[in-house]
Structure 1
Amino acid sequence: MAEVLFYHLTLRPLESVLPELLEKCLERGWRATVQTGSPERCAHLDAHLWTYRDEAFLPHGTSADGPAENQPVYLTAGSDNPNRSDVRFLVDRAEPPDLSPYQRAVFLFDGHDPEAVLEARSHWTAAKDAGHQITYWQQTEQGGWERKA
């Protein structure tokens, strides 16, 4: 069973939070897949991860960038896992695949979008019913994360 984390974005946007979480995965030697809600969002995040910080490089790619197995971070709008990820990120209301093969799954959802919050609650229930270990994190005023459940 996977460890499933829900990150409730209320202060900082996805574009600010996601690179930090991906960097932590790479520091731990984990491979990651980021599943977006649409191909357009996938292309947007692909471009953003190249330029999010001048002094940083976050190795990543999409299906357009050659063999996916060579990508430590793979971006997709589908349920595929061609780089054999340890961690699955689900953003922009992406519909999750089976989470069992992953060590960790991370839902990042916009707390200002009522539909995204409802979907996150539904995914929480499904993950809990599947027997996954679940935690819920909310952004703090200082920019960090506080475990709420």
Structure 2
Amino acid sequence: MGAAFFYHLTDSPLEATLPMLIGKARGAGWRVLVRGQDAALLKRLDDVLWQGPEDQFQPHGLAGGPHDADQPVLLGDGPIDGFGCVMSVGGAAVAADEVQTLERTCILFDGHDEVALETARGQWKALTEAGCTAQYWAQEGGRWTKKAEK
């Protein structure tokens, strides 16, 4: 059974944190779905992943192409079939049964956005009440610190 890891972004923006987490997930051998509902956000993240350092490049694609099933990292809003890890961005929903099926679920949210904070709190409550294991990570002085586990 997988776990949901909540990442409260305060020091680093999503554009810096997401590539780092994708690298860790790929290093664990997981295929990654970056799940978002805002096409503009997913396109921006696609651009960020293409522009990253060459030695940290992660092959990826935007959902809707002919090779979606072959992408090690796919940005879209689809189902979890074939993925080991889902990274929720922009408040995209993740169901408890998905968390329990996946190796890892990462929920990244902007700590400076009140709506994003409330959405993440609601996700934490719903997932933990459904019996999912969850960890809450926050940034302190540029480092990630585990603040809660349930």
What TM-score do you get using the length of structure 2 for normalisation? 0.90
The aligned counterpart of 2:34 is: 34
- What are the Cα deviations for residues 76-101 of structure 1, in whole angstroms up to 9, with x where unaligned? 0x23235x111110011112244332
Residue 104 of structure 1 deviates from its aligned partner by 1.1
Classify the secondary structure of the residue corresponding to 1:4: strand
- Answer whether contact 1:79 1:96 (CA < 8 A) is retained: no
- Answer whether contact 1:3 1:132 (CA < 8 A) is retained: yes
Structure 1 unaligned residues grouped into runs of 5+: none
> After superposition, where does 1:126-141 map in structure 2 within 5 Å?
126-141=126-141
Relative to its length, the structure with more strand (as a share) is 2
Classify the secondary structure of the residue corresponding to 1:135: strand
Provide closer, same or farther for how the CA distance between residues 79 and 64 of structure 1 changes in structure 2, counting only shifts above 3 A.
closer
Query: Which letter maps to 2:84?
Result: D
Query: Which letter maps to 1:23?
Result: G
CA distance in 2, matches of 1:100, 1:9: 24
Q: Quote the RMSD (CA, aligned, Å).
A: 1.4
CA distance in 2, matches of 1:56, 1:104: 21
What is the identity percentage for the equivalent residue pairs of Structure 1 and Structure 2?
Answer: 36
Give the stretch that moved more between structures: 59-68 or 99-108.
Answer: 59-68
The aligned counterpart of 1:147 is: 146
- Answer whether contact 1:138 1:147 (CA < 8 A) is retained: yes
CA distance in 1, matches of 2:37, 2:69: 22
Residue 68 of structure 1 deviates from its aligned partner by 1.6
Instruction: Give the aligned length.
Output: 146
Classify the secondary structure of the residue corresponding to 1:131: coil
- Answer whether contact 1:139 1:146 (CA < 8 A) is retained: yes
Give the stretch that moved more between structures: 4-13 or 29-38.
Answer: 29-38
Query: Which letter maps to 1:136?
Result: Y
Within the alignment, does 1:95 sit opposite 2:118 as a pair? Answer: no
Structure 2 unaligned residues grouped into runs of 5+: none
CA distance in 1, matches of 2:103, 2:51: 28
